[in-house]
């Protein structure tokens, strides 16, 4: 590897551990004697503008590597860019390969979700066609856990840990009052309910967990929902609901958009489009007369690096490291995947899969794991997800706050 | 103290460290040989219904005390109850003192904010009038930091640490994209801006902090706000604003209520009252065409016990402990306060003040600490607040999540 350079990019929505994968790539490449380790600024979008850095300018020590692992969001910057097809824009591919040639790149790594794997698929296919020596390897990343072929995805475990922790704390807070209340917690995931399902992990010896959990995999019936809430309220002062931002009604409309027309009727003519939690909490307050609070985790669930899962951090690092090893072994057009060997004790290994199998695919929560008429998740889900949230990684605290690395 | 019992209650909105004060009361009373340590369930409201527990049934070891310190919200339950005056309801006071007599209470502790101190003021006045031997002592608590007489209030430091940490992470997340964005973060505090001001603590070597900070102490001018955002956008891809939920316009109306009438016009007739962040983010999206996200910290800022300040935890414990010592020394109708001896190195002592001086008073951010025409806070604020967020207390993690104590 000593005579070749590598380049690595980050793409799509950030996670709390995406930089741990970057750290894995950097450290492994450095330890293998790689000459230059470039980082694309803002993924392939930046590369096309020849915007990149020499990562060694920022990571000068093993302490910096540890700091990088503790930095949320994408250190190199990210993009939401899907490459055009080769037919539609051959010049895009020519330009990318020209830049890679100029930088003497032998190995190309891309950390991202399904759109990013589409990029790896297209570039490796183009490279093969034109007998390029460059190896293209994908490193999985997404809090949504919706990548095909892999047991789970780096980023999910930490988001799940944040969601379950915050859910415990919210339930603890709600139960402190003697008054009746309903809390609706809105969780990310437009099409796949993995994150919302993670709220079930809050159920433990010291916490009842949410009473209802709604995933986007199932149609959301507003009347049935209200009925269940009213039923629950008979025996419970406090009711808590975890709901995916992506739930839709039988007509396929997002719940938060059901009354969109009327929501626009502000006197300035400004849109007042609330989210799912906001809509449902207003609806329930009116239906039941009970104080209902909507809480939206928003970006906190993907950037709360002060509360990562050490399992997730380690696996994200390993995915980056193993991608480098795979590329050195001559692999191309592949993505690193996790294969679970055992649940108890938890054990995984990494393997490689053809990136075509991952690109543009979406893995949803299995039907049989969604129980109680689409209002909860099963023990199988918990057995699957619990190991992924185990362990902590202390942030480096300076002046009372976590320290991050930045460009 | 060996022949007398004590009772302690928690009141008002919970904090991440209110149970540390309870732990301080419990441990100190126990160590002084107190016979029984009762806890009111849901404050004075519960006491009036004779709802209480023997805390020793739940706290059996020093490990339990540590677990109690790490449990968010009010372990004993809370209430929002203001005692009627003695003139209006003498029977309320007769009933309370009858219950206290039955339980052989010699010392009464109440952990709370200004309404709770009003309770202490009224009960101690009534007790003095009727020659009661019971000592009534208040222990300060509120994330809002708006209690008079004390340098600061237990609960504030941890909420401030959460806000500053989350703000850092949110800014880090926003800057990862190459696209333009505006983020409006809504923070608690209807009348006092201490919590919103804490967002300024995120400004550090590795973070620019929010660009604008709006406290409820100043009138909010929507046009000026939009103008400033547009000005900032000229040089910044990413703009972040911290705003108090309680900001009002020149007419004294909450910003989130400005268009209330039109917000109600949903087709079901349901109210769709968004918060300040939601309103402003919709407004800015329309004004500027730039993607604007509203983030509301909601209850997380007062219950995120996984990220407390150890300074705050220790001081909350000390406030509880010193309340017991004061009561044993014969004090009555007092609240424990903090007096700052030095900023650097940070040092405080506790003192006592007449609870009448605290009840129903509200301490706001000093005018001279609000700078840049009401859009930021000064270095003096940072010097004041920074010491309060220093240090961490590791949660007790079980199965990947913080463990809490519960009744």
Pairing of strands B135-140, B105-112: parallel
Contact B49/A at CB under 8 A: no
pLDDT of residue A2: 52
**CA-to-CA distance for A269 and A272, rounded, in angstroms?**
9
Put simply, the answer to whether B206 touches A259 (Cβ < 8 Å) is no
Give B-chain residues touching A399 at CB under 8 angstroms.
201, 204, 386, 390
Q: Is B77 found in the same domain as B45?
A: yes
Answer yes or no: is B339 within a domain: yes
Contact A345/B at CB under 8 A: no
Residue B358 near residue B335, CB atoms below 8 Å: yes
Closest CB to B272 among A263, A305, A309? A263
**CA-to-CA distance for B326 and B351, rounded, in angstroms?**
9
Q: Is A297 found in the same domain as A175?
A: yes
B244's enclosing H/E stretch is strand B238-244
- DSSP secondary-structure letter at B407? -
Q: What are the pLDDT digits (tens) for A87-97?
A: 999 999 999 99
**CA-to-CA distance for B148 and B358, rounded, in angstroms?**
5
β-partners of residue B53 are: B39
Contact B308/A at CB under 8 A: no
Neighbouring C-beta atoms of residue A190, cutoff 10 Å: 14
Please give the full DSSP string across B301-348, using - where no structure is assigned.
HHH-GGG-BHHHHHHHHHHHHHHHHHHHTT--SEEEEEEEEEETTEEE
**CA-to-CA distance for B319 and B335, rounded, in angstroms?**
9
Q: What are the pLDDT digits (tens) for B144-157?
A: 999 999 999 999 99
Q: Is A219 found in the same domain as A127?
A: no
Q: Is A194 found in the same domain as A161?
A: yes
Contact A47/B at CB under 8 A: no
Which residue among A239, A272, A303 closes a domain?
A: A303
Give A-chain residues touching B74 at CB under 8 angstroms.
176
Contact B250/A at CB under 8 A: no
Answer yes or no: is B402 within a domain: no
Residue B6 near residue B29, CB atoms below 8 Å: yes
**CA-to-CA distance for A169 and A292, rounded, in angstroms?**
17
Answer yes or no: is B104 within a domain: yes
Answer yes or no: is A68 within a domain: yes
Range of the domain at A262: 156-303
A335's enclosing H/E stretch is strand A334-343
Answer yes or no: is A380 within a domain: no
Is the pLDDT assigned to residue B275 strictly greater than 90? no
The pair of three-digit structure tokens given for residue B281, joined into one six-digit string: 């983010």
Q: What are the pLDDT digits (tens) for B219-232?
A: 999 999 999 999 99
A402's enclosing H/E stretch is strand A401-402
Chain A from 13 to 32: CB within 8 A of any B CB: 14
Distance from the Cα of A268 to chain B's closest Cα (Å) equals 8
Q: Is A313 found in the same domain as A266?
A: no
Pairing of strands A397-398, A401-402: antiparallel
Chain B from 122 to 151: CB within 8 A of any A CB: none
Residues 6+ apart with CB under 8 A from A177: A238, B42, B77, B78, B79, B80
CATH number at residue A286: 3.40.50.460
Put simply, the answer to whether B401 touches A390 (Cβ < 8 Å) is no
β-partners of residue B108 are: B7, B136
Is the pLDDT assigned to residue B9 strictly greater than 90? yes
pLDDT of residue A263: 43
Contact B77/A at CB under 8 A: yes
The pair of three-digit structure tokens given for residue A170, joined into one six-digit string: 């919210």
Distance from the Cα of B149 to chain A's closest Cα (Å) equals 26
B242's enclosing H/E stretch is strand B238-244
B256, closest residue in chain A (CA to CA)? A272
CATH number at residue A98: 3.40.50.450
Q: Is B328 found in the same domain as B312?
A: yes
% of chain B at pLDDT higher than 70: 95
- Mutation target vs B (from A401, A402, A403; most B CBs, 10 A cutoff): A401
Chain B from 197 to 216: CB within 8 A of any A CB: 201-202, 204-207
B308, closest residue in chain A (CA to CA)? A400
Number of domains in chain B: 2
A222's enclosing H/E stretch is helix A222-235
- DSSP secondary-structure letter at A215? -
Put simply, the answer to whether A282 touches B272 (Cβ < 8 Å) is yes
Is the pLDDT assigned to residue B269 strictly greater than 90? no
Is the pLDDT assigned to residue B263 strictly greater than 90? no
Is the pLDDT assigned to residue B98 strictly greater than 80? yes
In 3D space, the residue among A239, A227, A225 whose CA is nearest the CA of residue A181 turns out to be A239
Give A-chain residues touching B394 at CB under 8 angstroms.
392, 394
Answer yes or no: is A228 within a domain: yes
Is the pLDDT assigned to residue B128 strictly greater than 80? yes
Q: How far is CA A317 from CA A20, A41, B286, in A?
A: 5, 20, 41
In 3D space, the residue among A119, A108, A116, A110 whose CA is nearest the CA of residue A37 turns out to be A108
pLDDT of residue A92: 97
Least confident of A1-5, A60-64, B349-353, B382-386: A1-5
**CA-to-CA distance for B232 and B212, rounded, in angstroms?**
10
Which of the residues in chain A have pLDDT under 50?
261-273
Give B-chain residues touching A263 at CB under 8 angstroms.
266, 272
Which residue among B303, B318, B336 closes a domain?
A: B303
Q: Which of B54, B115, B118, B144 is flagged as catalytic?
A: B144
Give B-chain residues touching A273 at CB under 8 angstroms.
282
Q: What's this model's pTM, rounded to 2 decimal places?
A: 0.96
Put simply, the answer to whether B400 touches A386 (Cβ < 8 Å) is yes
Q: What are the pLDDT digits (tens) for A138-168?
A: 999 999 999 999 999 999 999 999 999 999 9
How many CB contacts within 8 angstroms connect chain A with chain B?
Answer: 235
Residues 6+ apart with CB under 8 A from B316: B17, B18, B20, B21, B24, B141, B154, B155
**CA-to-CA distance for B224 and A272, rounded, in angstroms?**
21
Residue B404 near residue A172, CB atoms below 8 Å: yes
Q: Is A211 found in the same domain as A117?
A: no
Count CA atoms closer than 13 A to B333's CA, side-chain side.
Answer: 14
Put simply, the answer to whether B73 touches A201 (Cβ < 8 Å) is no
Answer yes or no: is B377 within a domain: no
Q: Is A45 found in the same domain as A150?
A: yes
Residue A220 near residue A192, CB atoms below 8 Å: no
Which residue among B303, B333, B352 closes a domain?
A: B303
Is the pLDDT assigned to residue B284 strictly greater than 60? yes
Q: Is B19 found in the same domain as B143?
A: yes
Q: Is B151 found in the same domain as B11?
A: yes
Predicted confidence band of residue B282 (pLDDT cuts 50, 70, 90): confident
Answer yes or no: is A243 within a domain: yes
**CA-to-CA distance for A393 and A316, rounded, in angstroms?**
13
Distance from the Cα of A3 to chain B's closest Cα (Å) equals 31
**CA-to-CA distance for A190 and A361, rounded, in angstroms?**
14
Q: How far apart are the first and last CA of chain A?
A: 26
Residue B310 near residue B297, CB atoms below 8 Å: no
β-partners of residue B398 are: B401
Mean pLDDT, rounded, for B349-358:
95
Please give the full DSSP string across A22-86, using - where no structure is assigned.
HHHHHHHHHHTT-S-EEEETTHHHHHHTT-EEEGGGT--SHHHHHHHHT--S-TT-B----PPPT
Put simply, the answer to whether A169 touches B398 (Cβ < 8 Å) is no
- Mutation target vs A (from B401, B402, B404, B405; most A CBs, 10 A cutoff): B401
Q: Is A173 found in the same domain as A149?
A: no
Sign of torsion over alpha carbons A175, A181, A187, A193:
positive
Chain A from 167 to 186: CB within 8 A of any B CB: 168-170, 172-178
Contact B397/A at CB under 8 A: yes
ipTM of the complex: 0.95
B73, closest residue in chain A (CA to CA)? A173
Sign of torsion over alpha carbons A286, A288, A292, A296:
negative
Q: Is A13 found in the same domain as A150?
A: yes
What number of H helices and E strands is found in chain B?
A: 13, 15
Predicted confidence band of residue B291 (pLDDT cuts 50, 70, 90): confident
Q: What angle (nearest 5°) sits at the alpha carbon of residue B151, between those of residues A402 and B187?
A: 50
């Amino acid at each position: 590897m000593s005579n070749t350079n590598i380049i690595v990019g980050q793409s799509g929505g950030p996670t709390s551990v995406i930089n741990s994968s970057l750290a894995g790539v950097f450290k492994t490449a450095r330890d293998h004697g790689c000459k230059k380790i470039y980082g694309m600024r803002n993924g392939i979008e930046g590369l096309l503008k020849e915007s990149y850095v020499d990562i060694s300018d920022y990571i000068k020590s093993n302490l910096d590597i540890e700091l990088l692992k503790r930095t949320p969001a994408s250190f190199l910057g990210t993009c939401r860019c899907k490459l055009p097809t080769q037919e539609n824009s051959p010049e895009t591919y020519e330009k990318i390969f020209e830049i890679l040639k100029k930088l003497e790149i032998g190995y190309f790594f891309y950390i991202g979700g399904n759109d990013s794997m589409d990029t790896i698929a297209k570039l490796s296919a183009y490279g093969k066609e034109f007998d390029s020596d460059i190896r293209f390897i994908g490193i999985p990343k997404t809090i949504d856990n919706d990548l095909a072929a892999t047991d789970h995805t780096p980023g999910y475990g930490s988001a799940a840990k944040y969601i379950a922790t915050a859910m415990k704390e919210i339930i603890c807070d709600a139960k402190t009052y003697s008054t009746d209340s309903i809390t609706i917690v809105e969780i990310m995931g437009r099409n796949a309910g993995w994150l919302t399902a993670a709220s079930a992990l809050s159920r433990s010896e010291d916490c009842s967990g949410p009473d209802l959990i709604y995933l986007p995999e199932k149609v959301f019936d507003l009347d049935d929902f209200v009925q269940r809430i009213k039923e629950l309220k008979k025996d419970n002062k406090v009711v808590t609901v975890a709901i995916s931002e992506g739930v839709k009604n039988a007509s396929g409309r997002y719940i938060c958009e059901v009354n969109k027309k009327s929501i626009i009727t502000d006197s300035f003519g400004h849109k007042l489009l609330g989210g799912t939690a906001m809509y449902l909490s207003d609806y329930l307050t009116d239906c039941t007369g009970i104080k209902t609070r909507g809480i939206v985790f928003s970006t906190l669930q993907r950037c709360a690096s002060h509360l990562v899962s050490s399992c997730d951090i380690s696996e994200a690092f390993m995915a980056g490291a193993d991608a480098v090893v795979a590329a050195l072994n001559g692999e191309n057009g592949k993505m690193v995947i996790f294969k679970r060997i055992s649940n108890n004790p938890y054990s995984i290994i990494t393997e490689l899969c053809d990136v075509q199998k991952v690109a543009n695919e979406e893995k949803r929560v299995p039907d049989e794991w969604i129980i109680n008429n689409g209002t909860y998740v099963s023990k199988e889900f918990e057995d699957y997800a619990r190991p992924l949230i185990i362990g902590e990684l202390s942030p480096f605290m300076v002046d009372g706050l976590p320290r991050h690395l930045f460009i």
